[in-house]
């Protein structure tokens, strides 16, 4: 019996090492290509976007008297210079629509989105003269595309010019009036979208931002403000940030929800696999011992190989199909291997009921617990406790000393009944 247990333990250790190697391979395949794939996705779709409010300014030629010492007396000379004046931003209304659409590259999903931006800003001309004001909107990201880019002032479109950093246009603003600037565009980004009030601590007066999403799993980025109002819709959320006179170092931001990642998930399941096999071997050992069923360590080896087939197939199938469909296929393949094999070794009833149900619980259900982020450890712990309870209740009246001292095999019982000498099975001792 001791040699039998040692052989089974050796098989489990070797299989656990193989799983660790497989998990490392999956992690390497996943993250070694992540930077390259992320760059590829960003080049075709866009990167993280951070939108800042536009600025308004005008330049004015002014004069000042400068004293000049010519050696005899000091005279005054009038010099000209160009003064730069910034117009204050007194009101903001922004409407943002975020349309999430995940894209898969290799073993990872990337959170890409389309954004529709529409903003209206008030800039009063406090000077006593009409001014030619330049309005400039910075781009939220340099590595991005902008469609339907437009700017108008007081309802009249302006001629715009663009560079790598933003778009600008000029308009005449009469003295004492307010320029109402409207800007808009459609673009694409990845991972997150933010609205930045300014550098460090900034002020926002009469501020209103409405955001609509087509996803319900909203997540606000770190160091960002929570919405003042939110309403759930059929597709997602309507969020509102409304402030009268805000002074804050925080920004407004939305992190795109991540999809279940096939690569990391397959790696985590593979790392957990030795625990799953340990439960299965433990239950098989208890059942076969209680039922006096002959199960050689080589049989345990093939059972371990059938378990390993689940994770090996999963690792290379998630590249091509949905993780959920891949999980179902791999589960069916592994259970078929175990049941069809034990049907030949022991019998169909034991293979389908005891072994099949045990594999369904300890391989399939325990592995599926990784699909529920945050509950994996709890699910496995509950499963382990339930297994311990059931095993203790079933074996509570068993005389283990008798079971371990002599295991009566079917061949031994047959030899006793026919009067033939019993064949000693040294591999079970």
Domain identity same for 232 and 148: yes
Domain identity same for 266 and 251: no
Domain identity same for 158 and 282: no
- CA 342-396-360 angle, to 5 degrees, is 35
Number of domains composing the chain: 2
Instruction: Report if residue 161 sits inside a domain.
Output: yes
The H or E element containing residue 73 is: none
Instruction: Report if residue 72 sits inside a domain.
Output: no
- Neighbouring residues of 190: CB distance < 8 A, sequence distance ≥ 6: 41, 42, 45, 46, 47, 48, 110, 111, 112, 113, 256
The band of 417, judged by pLDDT with boundaries at 50, 70 and 90, is very low
Query: Of residues 397 and 342, which shows the higher confidence score?
Result: 342
Mean pLDDT lowest among 182-196, 203-217, 310-324: 310-324
Rounded Cα–Cα distance for residues 380 and 5 (Å): 25
Whether the per-residue pLDDT at 424 is higher than 70: the answer is no
Please count the residues of the chain.
Answer: 429
Point out the domain boundary residue: 214, 238, 255: 255
Domain identity same for 182 and 327: no
Mean pLDDT lowest among 55-59, 130-134, 332-336, 419-423: 419-423
Domain CATH number, residue 141:
2.60.40
Q: Structure pTM?
A: 0.68
Nearest to 167 by CA among 155, 151, 187, 144: 151
pLDDT at 404: 67
Instruction: Report if residue 40 sits inside a domain.
Output: no
pLDDT at 428: 37
pLDDT at 33: 60
pLDDT at 126: 85
Point out the domain boundary residue: 233, 255, 277: 255
Could you report the per-residue pLDDT of 199-238, keeping only the tens digit for each?
A: 778 888 999 999 999 998 888 877 888 899 999 988 899 9
- CA 199-205-208 angle, to 5 degrees, is 95
Burial readout 294-317 (b: 16 or more C-beta within 10 A, e: otherwise): bbebebbbbbbbbbbbbbbbbbeb
pLDDT at 423: 40
Instruction: Report if residue 71 sits inside a domain.
Output: no
Q: What is the mean pLDDT of the chain?
A: 84
Domain identity same for 386 and 239: no
Domain identity same for 312 and 349: yes
Q: Kindly list the distances between the CA atom of residue 129 and the CA atoms of 62, 86, 126, 175, 177, in Å, as whole numbers in the listed order.
A: 13, 15, 9, 5, 10
pLDDT at 403: 67
pLDDT at 338: 93
Whether the per-residue pLDDT at 283 is higher than 50: the answer is yes
Domain identity same for 206 and 239: yes
Give just the sign of the alpha carbon dihedral 375, 13, 15, 387: negative
Query: Of residues 296 and 412, which shows the higher confidence score?
Result: 296
Instruction: Report if residue 194 sits inside a domain.
Output: yes
Whether the per-residue pLDDT at 67 is higher than 60: the answer is yes
The band of 115, judged by pLDDT with boundaries at 50, 70 and 90, is very high
Domain identity same for 133 and 242: yes
Domain identity same for 200 and 89: yes
Point out the domain boundary residue: 220, 255, 290: 255
Domain identity same for 190 and 54: yes
Mean pLDDT lowest among 49-53, 65-69, 291-295, 340-344: 65-69
Instruction: Report if residue 249 sits inside a domain.
Output: yes
Structural domain boundaries, residue 423: 2-32+260-428
pLDDT at 370: 84
The band of 181, judged by pLDDT with boundaries at 50, 70 and 90, is very high
Whether the per-residue pLDDT at 30 is higher than 80: the answer is no
The band of 331, judged by pLDDT with boundaries at 50, 70 and 90, is very high
Instruction: Report if residue 12 sits inside a domain.
Output: yes
Instruction: Report if residue 70 sits inside a domain.
Output: no
Domain identity same for 112 and 126: yes
Share of the chain above pLDDT 70, in %: 88
Q: What integer is the mean pLDDT of 175-196?
A: 91
Query: Of residues 322 and 359, which shows the higher confidence score?
Result: 359
Domain identity same for 8 and 83: no
């Amino acid at each position: 019996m001791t040699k039998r247990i040692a052989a089974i333990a050796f098989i489990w250790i070797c299989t656990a090492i193989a799983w660790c190697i497989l998990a490392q391979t999956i992690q390497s395949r996943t993250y070694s290509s992540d930077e390259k794939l992320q760059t590829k996705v960003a080049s075709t779709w866009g990167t993280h976007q951070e939108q800042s409010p536009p600025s308004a300014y005008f330049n004015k030629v002014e004069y000042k008297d400068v004293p000049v010492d010519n050696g005899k007396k000091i005279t005054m000379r009038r010099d000209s210079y160009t003064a730069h004046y910034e117009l204050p931003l007194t009101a903001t209304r922004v409407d943002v629509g975020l349309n999430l659409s995940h894209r898969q590259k290799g073993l990872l999903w990337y959170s890409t989105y389309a954004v529709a931006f529409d903003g209206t800003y008030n800039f009063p001309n406090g000077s006593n003269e009409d001014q030619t004001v330049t309005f400039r909107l910075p781009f939220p990201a340099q590595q991005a595309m902008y469609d339907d880019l437009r700017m108008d002032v007081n309802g009249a479109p302006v001629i715009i010019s663009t560079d790598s950093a933003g778009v600008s246009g000029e308009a005449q603003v009469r003295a004492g009036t307010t320029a109402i600037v409207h800007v808009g565009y459609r673009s694409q980004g990845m991972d997150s979208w933010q609205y930045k009030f300014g550098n460090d601590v900034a002020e926002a007066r009469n501020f209103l931002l409405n955001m609509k999403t087509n996803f319900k799993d909203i997540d606000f980025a770190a160091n960002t403000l929570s919405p003042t109002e939110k309403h759930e819709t059929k597709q997602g959320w309507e969020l509102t940030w409304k402030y009268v006179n805000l002074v804050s170092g925080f920004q407004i931001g939305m992190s795109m929800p991540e999809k279940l990642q096939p690569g990391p998930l397959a790696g985590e399941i593979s790392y957990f696999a030795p625990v799953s096999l340990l439960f299965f071997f433990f239950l098989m050992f208890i059942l076969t011992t209680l039922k006096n069923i002959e199960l050689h360590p080589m049989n345990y080896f093939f059972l371990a190989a059938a378990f390993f087939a689940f994770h090996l197939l999963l690792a290379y199938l998630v590249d091509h199909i949905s993780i959920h469909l891949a999980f179902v296929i791999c589960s069916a393949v592994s259970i078929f291997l175990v049941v069809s094999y034990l049907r030949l070794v022991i019998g169909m009833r034991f293979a389908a009921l005891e072994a099949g149900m045990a594999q369904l619980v300890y391989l399939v259900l325990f592995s599926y617990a990784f699909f529920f982020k945050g509950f994996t450890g709890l699910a496995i712990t509950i499963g382990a406790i339930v297994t311990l309870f059931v095993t203790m209740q079933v074996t509570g009246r068993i005389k283990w000393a008798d079971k371990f001292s002599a295991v009566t095999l079917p061949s031994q019982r047959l030899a006793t009944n026919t009067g033939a000498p019993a064949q000693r099975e040294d591999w079970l001792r």
